[in-house]
Structure 1
């Protein structure tokens, strides 16, 4: 049973809220953290304090406390750690070492930093300086292991090796590998093949370069291996056992579509080779929220009374299931998750089972064939598919047909202004005839990292630059359409969809917009955002992400 809140609890909560109203983020975080240390079940407070950590500025005075807060959340698996990546990285020994003149690559103080281990396990590393360091150290480890018989050094970095190996699996081995490393790796594999038993160190070193679930000569040994180390067993589950489960799940999935559309076939093959998006942990939502209240709060529209009391929700292009956790938590919600990639769906099915989500059904189907589901939906989420279809308008028509009257959709489309450098890069790839293979993509990415070409700068700043499936989706996608807001306006008018507003505009952008357009309802006017985008072309670098309503 949960303990009843004490008077101290209410006093501390009240004090924390007072500090927050006074914009004393440090004081508020301190109060809230003192509550959460003994009661993480206060989910709203738990998530709000993580948000405060992500927003707070780190300085000398709050450094140690910020690191304590950071470790508290990164040791847990119930937040989307990526949101706190930059702040967390600034609290590591790696960041501290950059301010000092220390040229030593193998630095045990950096390597054995607990927070760095947690970051490696739970975030994609969206930082080229850290990536460069890890690539250097990975090579040094390989050389050191092959040149020395004494493995005492590797016992000192055992937990770091596990964390780095998990990171390499998470980013799908996107780091470029030199010719020297390739030769060293062959030597390592020869040593591994000669051994009768599993050597954990050599296995970890191998997994810095290759996915263990695709190393056939180790399969039997790893199937039966149980380590004395819980960390190593958890690592094996993540990089070896879970992918095998996904493969079995994928083999049992039945297809509703025949995927006769040429572009659908190409996109299907792409996302089967590189399931998208790659993720590991996500935030725990507040259960049993009222979807009527939530939709009204973000769209600012009057709904038919109780319209979302028993919501049927379609996630079109659900991929690996990253969006499912949040939507599944709404009261009485029933989720229908559809995708054209069996591999992505298999990952999603496994994750939803692990998280004990029971109100979701997965379907292997093309968006063009949604009518075959014989269902209608109150709410449709489609935030990344339409612009990859042969004809996005056909995809939108298919969504509208299964949306109930007065239903709401969240859509996302690429901006032609924000993605001008991506368009240029895609044409460059086509001109140079760079093939869509893992080696070619990694080689091209490495060239981009070292290049001084300004066209590559926005791409290198994108989070999608840091894992193979995301990188492929970013610039090697088979099909991509871009739009302007004027085009979207005309499309919505043609389809009798009412534009409501944009979803989650960055606060700095929104504040700047409001200085130019200060009237109360201006932020919901698509024509004014169209004008704003012409002045600030990178406003929608990710996507136009917006809400519409069916008449």
Structure 2
């Protein structure tokens, strides 16, 4: 989180031997942090106490003692030392900053905010208090305030990776009412960050909508307005355009380009950047946009013409084939078309073939080829590792078939945060509830139902000394994840198999993460019990389950439209169009609010996301108040909800308690008043008590 390194000073005001003792203690404190040695921290404490006794009126020894005790987890003692320091000098930025860190560790966000704000008012450069203040605002869900602060800090430190990551977190919750041309330029710069830039999508889409709304207030919007918008062009290749208005705008632009270009099979240079951007967007959303019958017929003709041109393979034919392929790619991921076998490298790399189109197609085809290669080496649970392919009697459940056809979720970015200790993170998240956890040289972690592997790779990247195993039914999903691990220099054990068969792993795990999986099993409790059986006593499990309250609209849609039977690409496109632009939602019994909740979900903007969101063949929903009993039947005990943003604010408003301390019954009370609070699932931790604890 924040650096706790003490500032180097010339140590003014020390008397006698206190100076030497302080230097020794400070040096050991720094070494203890660098080397992770608690014995050095204990030595530093002894020397710092002696320094204080030698010179009780010196501020710096109080600050050092507070920092040492903070790192040792002795928060009451740390708070006492910070209080002594503030008594000596109430306007000390260093003591105020330390006091803020202690309050933050105690989950006293209001108190921490006050300390950091006071330090910032005194000086914005003497400490990292401005960074910590922005962090507090982010934790409290004050996104606009946090965003403005991180934005200002980044102007001063543009290469700070920590600030970049936090800015994007804040941006995910920002709501702005006016178009900001300066911000639009900054967004283009932020797209080059190494972190999870998909967090910038809502802010980007909001700015685009505000710009086009302003133009429409003066005159009709034209396609040239899109051609001249670098933010739109850049955004289309980076994340799904998860907004119904922008989707309508881009489908209209797509039709305009198709209509202007089909006959001559040559795309105007001015239209080329937008056409490429739409093609990249189509790859991201998997061709989820609705098509008219006429468009479908034109694409079918283009596929026939394109095939003949690729066969001829002369310069003139390949130039026309290039335009043909780009038009098709605006409607279909090219690797899913009949042209796929003819898109040979020597044809795509021919000088007559447009370079931009060539790069796009080669990248898409290479990604598909990589996934195929990785699928060939992923072992199957319960079978010999030398025979990785599924046996003929492998369970072909409807769920497995769904994710084999539509691997989910499709993702591009992992994020970029400093590596930390997994158990230490949990203890800080839920203070006092996981005190039994102890540091270990390496943790064995299972991601059960890993899907396309993003969470498994995030664990391997963001936490030190984890051995991560990723298990899933879908070979296509596993190969998606495995093909990406080399991009980040990570290592994960990928295994195809059923959660019900996890005992065949012949391993026990310190931690298990199972998000969005159990509610798709025929019997979620049976799956949980299977996972509990391989979780070590004292181990932790993270679960994410659908909320009955949050999914009422989707449950109504599933029942009245029989959406679990919808599985083809064209059916999914029609369902999306019916919900977004027709009255199918109202006919199915949904309120306007419920329709809008679906239409504004990120998952609604890809075929795999839509199918997972609305058309899953098996789905169970839960009431959070009953979770404790459900967990106990599997030998597990509730720890706490993983809460942020609005949930943190509501916990304080309703119960004047930190969110980590709320019980499931308390969360149920909040959810009754805020039914969409857990639209993204309940996410919570449980632990498996040791036998002695059960007794």
Give the alignment's TM-score, normalised by structure 2.
0.71
309 and 17 in structure 1: CA distance in 2 versus 1, 3 angstrom threshold: same
1:495 and 2:609 matched: no
Instruction: Tell me the distance in 1 between the aligned counterparts of 2:306 and 2:659.
Output: 66
Query: How far does residue 203 in structure 1 lie from its aligned partner after superposition?
Result: 1.1
Deviates further, 450-459 or 496-505: 450-459
What are the superposed Cα offsets for residues 256-303 of structure 1, whole Å, 9 maximum, x if unpaired? 25799998611111100000111122212323x122321112232343
C-alpha contact (below 8 Å) 2:212/2:221 kept by paired residues: no
Query: 1:133 maps to which residue?
Result: 249
C-alpha contact (below 8 Å) 1:509/1:539 kept by paired residues: yes
1:239 and 2:364 matched: yes
Q: SS at 1:546's partner residue?
A: strand
Query: 2:509 maps to which residue?
Result: 377
Deviates further, 136-145 or 278-287: 278-287
Query: 1:69 maps to which residue?
Result: 186
Correspondent of 1:226 among 344, 349, 361: 349
C-alpha contact (below 8 Å) 1:176/1:446 kept by paired residues: yes
Query: 1:504 maps to which residue?
Result: 643
Instruction: Tell me the distance in 2 between the aligned counterparts of 1:253 and 1:216.
Output: 28
Correspondent of 2:377 among 252, 256, 271: 252
Correspondent of 2:296 among 175, 182, 193: 182
In the TM superposition, what are the counterparts of 1:64-143 in structure 2 within 5 Å? Answer: 64-76=181-193, 78-92=194-208, 95-101=210-216, 106-143=222-259
538 and 221 in structure 1: CA distance in 2 versus 1, 3 angstrom threshold: closer
What are the superposed Cα offsets for residues 397-430 of structure 1, whole Å, 9 maximum, x if unpaired? 1110111111011101111121111111111122
107 and 20 in structure 1: CA distance in 2 versus 1, 3 angstrom threshold: farther
1:448 and 2:579 matched: yes
Instruction: Tell me the distance in 2 between the aligned counterparts of 1:230 and 1:143.
Output: 23
1:388 and 2:513 matched: no
C-alpha contact (below 8 Å) 1:247/1:346 kept by paired residues: yes
In the TM superposition, what are the counterparts of 1:13-412 in structure 2 within 5 Å? Answer: 17-18=129-130, 21=133, 26=148, 28-36=150-158, 39=159, 42-55=160-173, 58=176, 63-76=180-193, 78-92=194-208, 95-101=210-216, 106-148=222-264, 151=266, 154-195=268-309, 196-197=312-313, 198=318, 199-224=321-346, 225-226=348-349, 231-257=356-382, 265-287=397-419, 289-300=420-431, 301-304=433-436, 306-329=438-461, 330-358=463-491, 360-412=492-544
C-alpha contact (below 8 Å) 1:492/1:499 kept by paired residues: yes
Q: SS at 1:175's partner residue?
A: coil
83 and 306 in structure 1: CA distance in 2 versus 1, 3 angstrom threshold: same
Q: SS at 2:332's partner residue?
A: coil
413 and 444 in structure 1: CA distance in 2 versus 1, 3 angstrom threshold: same
C-alpha contact (below 8 Å) 1:339/1:345 kept by paired residues: yes
Instruction: Tell me the distance in 1 between the aligned counterparts of 2:618 and 2:521.
Output: 7
370 and 131 in structure 1: CA distance in 2 versus 1, 3 angstrom threshold: same
1:544 and 2:682 matched: yes
Query: 1:480 maps to which residue?
Result: 619
Query: How far does residue 327 in structure 1 lie from its aligned partner after superposition?
Result: 0.6
Query: 2:97 maps to which residue?
Result: none
181 and 57 in structure 1: CA distance in 2 versus 1, 3 angstrom threshold: closer
509 and 493 in structure 1: CA distance in 2 versus 1, 3 angstrom threshold: same
Query: How far does residue 59 in structure 1 lie from its aligned partner after superposition?
Result: 6.7
Q: SS at 1:156's partner residue?
A: coil
In the TM superposition, what are the counterparts of 1:421-436 in structure 2 within 5 Å? Answer: 421-430=553-562, 435-436=566-567
Count of paired positions = 529
Query: How far does residue 519 in structure 1 lie from its aligned partner after superposition?
Result: 4.1
Q: SS at 2:343's partner residue?
A: helix
What are the superposed Cα offsets for residues 501-546 of structure 1, whole Å, 9 maximum, x if unpaired? 11134x2243234222124578421111122223332222221111
C-alpha contact (below 8 Å) 2:168/2:196 kept by paired residues: no
160 and 433 in structure 1: CA distance in 2 versus 1, 3 angstrom threshold: closer
513 and 21 in structure 1: CA distance in 2 versus 1, 3 angstrom threshold: closer
C-alpha contact (below 8 Å) 1:166/1:235 kept by paired residues: yes
Instruction: Tell me the distance in 1 between the aligned counterparts of 2:149 and 2:671.
Output: 38
376 and 356 in structure 1: CA distance in 2 versus 1, 3 angstrom threshold: same
362 and 28 in structure 1: CA distance in 2 versus 1, 3 angstrom threshold: closer
User: Any stretches of 5+ residues in structure 1 without a counterpart?
Assistant: 1-6
Query: How far does residue 182 in structure 1 lie from its aligned partner after superposition?
Result: 1.2
C-alpha contact (below 8 Å) 2:651/2:658 kept by paired residues: no
Query: How far does residue 14 in structure 1 lie from its aligned partner after superposition?
Result: 5.2
Instruction: Tell me the distance in 2 between the aligned counterparts of 1:480 and 1:27.
Output: 42
272 and 399 in structure 1: CA distance in 2 versus 1, 3 angstrom threshold: same
494 and 240 in structure 1: CA distance in 2 versus 1, 3 angstrom threshold: same
Structure scoring higher RCO (CA < 8 A, sep ≥ 6) equals 1
User: Any stretches of 5+ residues in structure 2 without a counterpart?
Assistant: 1-7, 9-122, 135-144, 383-389, 690-695
Query: 1:3 maps to which residue?
Result: none
Instruction: Tell me the distance in 2 between the aligned counterparts of 1:202 and 1:115.
Output: 26
Query: How far does residue 19 in structure 1 lie from its aligned partner after superposition?
Result: 7.9
Deviates further, 269-278 or 455-464: 455-464
RMSD of aligned alpha carbons: 2.9
C-alpha contact (below 8 Å) 1:292/1:303 kept by paired residues: no
C-alpha contact (below 8 Å) 1:33/1:49 kept by paired residues: no
